[in-house]
Chain A
Amino acid sequence: MSKSIEDLKKISSQVRRDILRMVHNIQSGHPGGSLGCTDLLVSLFFNIMKRKEKFDMNGKDEDIFFLSNGHISPVFYSVLSRSGYFEINELNTFRELNSRLQGHPATHEGLPGIRIASGSLGQGLSVSIGSALTKKLNNDKSLVYVLMGDGELQEGQIWEAAMFASHNKINNLIGIIDYNGQQIDGPVDKINSLLNLEEKFKSFGWNTFLCDGHNFENLLKTFDDAKKRLKDNKPVVVIMKTIMGKGVDFMENSHKWHGIAPDDDQLKKALSQLDETLGDY
């Protein structure tokens, strides 16, 4: 059942609290990109995707999501648990020894909701294409979503996959770019610029959409339109403008929070900016 915009906002606030508390607890992990993709993942899992309640690796007749930029595992884990795939208390084990919540997402420990390991960048688009091909072979009309980072687009495999997807008319796949303009060493434009990203995808034969990754109305409308455009027999990419560190004023727009954990005072300050709407784990 879809959630109202108000509900989505509440869930996002809670997910952001989860992210900060998880990363703070273990003093390790990637809060910046996680906070930036929170509104997207909440929208996908609570509203956009048609998914079954119980996790099944094969994901037949349900929409499937792949996280290619696996380092934003905190937001993935929080949204998976808040979606009911596993107990929220397990978030407390993030990056601990013997945890199913590995530093980067993995299938190895059997955490429900994860269908592929990711972390080494650039591989998720190819995997999602394979999954989309299987859906076609199985006459399964549901869709495949894959999220990639913008810095990740510097990996060559992404463009191998982008070329393949349009050539083979993969019209059951929606790619999403977390377009926050930041990577570990600094702004993407200074490290290795993507130049005109929308034109790049267009020239690779994709239909493109731009959206504001923090405006729920805009997010929902964009994905609604994106799904409709799949009838063009082309893959679709949503280039989603986001703010790294969104929701915590001192983390916003800085690559410094890509992979740094907040200390006790910073956590306190950050949590004071985010309402506890669903109860902390």
Chain B
Amino acid sequence: MERREYNFTEKKDTRSGFGDGLYEVGSKNKDIVALCADLTGSLKMGKFKEDFPERFVQVGIAEANMMGIAAGLTIGGKIPFTGTFANFSTGRVYDQIRQSIAYSGKNVKICASHAGLTLGEDGATHQILEDIGMMKMLPGMTVINPCDYNQTKNATIAIAEHIGPVYLRFGRPKWPIFTEDNEPFIIGKAKKFVEGNDVTIFATGHMVWQALEAEKILYQKGVSAEIINIHTIKPIDKEAILRSISKTGCAISCEEHNILGGLGESISRILIENNPIPFKVLGVNDSFGESGKPIDLLSKYGLDPKNICKFALDVIKRK
């Protein structure tokens, strides 16, 4: 695999990828029902609502009720997709998800927008940084955090085919598109963007683009970084992780999430049990977020290409 430099010609929000994916899969599969808690516009569910009103459930500002209704809809064969902000999709309704969906083994797709710091100006009340941790701890829950518009759209289509509860996490800001339009999304299979030899950078969500930008800087410095997109945090692609680090000998992880409970922790466990190479976890360091422009927030909290490079060079030194 030759080194490829990733660029973009268009930016689009990942939530629009969800909205378009939901519309596409909902057009084909009449068992798909969409539920929303007063955020139809924010979740880009308007087109689905307009064209399939009989399969759109507006629950109002009542997320707990939405999760229960979604669980009940599966009894009789429907495939419910719930849509609200990530904060209200998880922390607010954890017990409803735990008992009525996860423990009950219901085929509900929990679709969560505005995750992480890049929600921006609304601030910490809405910027959930703990959701991946909460969701990955639930037995049987699949946890997916796609990296751009196309991947979010393709993931939305893919989860309709998967039987079992899924947490799909995406975001608010316009973000570079750098994956292929019709690339099939394979749940649980990591995607290698750049082949490298000196260090592996595992990234998820918006941080994949930040990692690709960091790779360009590292390349200029003569460092060959391997960039791997872990879009499925659970079940995680253990083989891809171990294969990569057996070559590079050191790694970092990047996520728009608390370092406690996120992707980095999942990778740490795999490494410590199998091949304890030098490793560092880049994420929000056990704090809440705050108001600000998405890109400024990412910089302040160290989730920018510059800091990714620093982390990468640090682990290379420890080899």
Flag whether A115 is at the interface (Cβ < 8 A): yes
Chain B residues positioned under 8 Å from A119 (CB to CB) = 99
Whether B77 contacts A161 by the Cβ 8 Å rule is no
Chain A nearest Cβ from B196, distance in angstroms:
44
Q: How far does the alpha carbon of A192 sit from the alpha carbon of B193 in the complex, in Å?
A: 58
Whether B54 contacts A59 by the Cβ 8 Å rule is no
Interface size on A, residues (CB 8 A): 39
Interface residues of B toward A: which range?
A: 20 to 34
Flag whether B122 is at the interface (Cβ < 8 A): no
Chain B nearest Cβ from A164, distance in angstroms:
6
Interface membership of chain A positions 8-28, coded 1 if the CB is closer than 8 angstroms to chain B and 0 otherwise: 000000000000000000000
Flag whether A123 is at the interface (Cβ < 8 A): yes
Which of B76, B103, B104 is A131 in contact with, Cβ under 8 Å?
B76
Flag whether A133 is at the interface (Cβ < 8 A): yes
Chain A residues positioned under 8 Å from B75 (CB to CB) = 57-59, 64, 115-116, 130-131, 134
Q: How far does the alpha carbon of A140 sit from the alpha carbon of B78 in the complex, in Å?
A: 13
Q: Which of B66-74, B160-168, B280-288, B301-309 contacts A (4 or more CB under 8 A)?
A: B66-74
Chain B residues positioned under 8 Å from A164 (CB to CB) = 59-60, 62, 65, 69
Chain B residues positioned under 8 Å from A107 (CB to CB) = 103-105
Interface membership of chain B positions 82-120, coded 1 if the CB is closer than 8 angstroms to chain A and 0 otherwise: 000000000000011011100111100000000000000
Chain A nearest Cβ from B185, distance in angstroms:
27
Q: Among B60, B62, B76, B106, which residue has the most Cβ atoms of chain A within 10 A?
A: B76
Flag whether B57 is at the interface (Cβ < 8 A): yes
Q: Among B59, B95, B99, which residue has the most Cβ atoms of chain A within 10 A?
A: B99
Chain B residues positioned under 8 Å from A64 (CB to CB) = 75
Chain B residues positioned under 8 Å from A168 (CB to CB) = 57
Flag whether B80 is at the interface (Cβ < 8 A): yes
Decide: A131 near B77, CB < 8 A? Known: A120-B95, A123-B100, A164-B65.
Answer: no
Interface membership of chain B positions 42-67, coded 1 if the CB is closer than 8 angstroms to chain A and 0 otherwise: 00000000000011010110101111
Flag whether B177 is at the interface (Cβ < 8 A): no
Flag whether B33 is at the interface (Cβ < 8 A): yes
Decide: A129 near B69, CB < 8 A? Known: A118-B99, A123-B96.
Answer: yes
Whether A157 contacts B65 by the Cβ 8 Å rule is yes
Flag whether A126 is at the interface (Cβ < 8 A): yes
Chain B residues positioned under 8 Å from A130 (CB to CB) = 68-75, 80
Flag whether A127 is at the interface (Cβ < 8 A): yes
Flag whether A138 is at the interface (Cβ < 8 A): yes
Decide: A160 near B62, CB < 8 A? Known: A120-B95, A126-B69.
Answer: yes
Whether A127 contacts B69 by the Cβ 8 Å rule is yes
Flag whether A125 is at the interface (Cβ < 8 A): yes
Whether B96 contacts A134 by the Cβ 8 Å rule is no
Flag whether A128 is at the interface (Cβ < 8 A): yes
Q: How far does the alpha carbon of A129 sit from the alpha carbon of B99 in the complex, in Å?
A: 16
Flag whether A108 is at the interface (Cβ < 8 A): yes
Chain B nearest Cβ from A98, distance in angstroms:
17
Q: How far does the alpha carbon of A128 sit from the alpha carbon of B76 in the complex, in Å?
A: 12
Q: How far does the alpha carbon of A116 sit from the alpha carbon of B66 in the complex, in Å?
A: 15
Whether B62 contacts A163 by the Cβ 8 Å rule is yes
Cβ contacts A to B, 13 pairs, < 8 Å: A107-B103, A107-B105, A115-B75, A124-B68, A126-B68, A127-B72, A130-B72, A131-B72, A131-B73, A133-B72, A138-B77, A156-B64, A163-B62
Instruction: Give chain A's interface residues, CB within 8 Å of chain B.
Output: 57-60, 64, 106-108, 115-120, 122-135, 137-138, 140, 156-157, 160-161, 163-164, 167-168
Q: Given contacts A129-B72, A130-B70, A160-B65, could you give 12 more A-B pairs where the C-beta distance is less than 8 Å? A: A116-B72, A125-B68, A126-B66, A126-B67, A126-B96, A127-B71, A133-B57, A133-B78, A138-B77, A157-B65, A160-B59, A164-B60
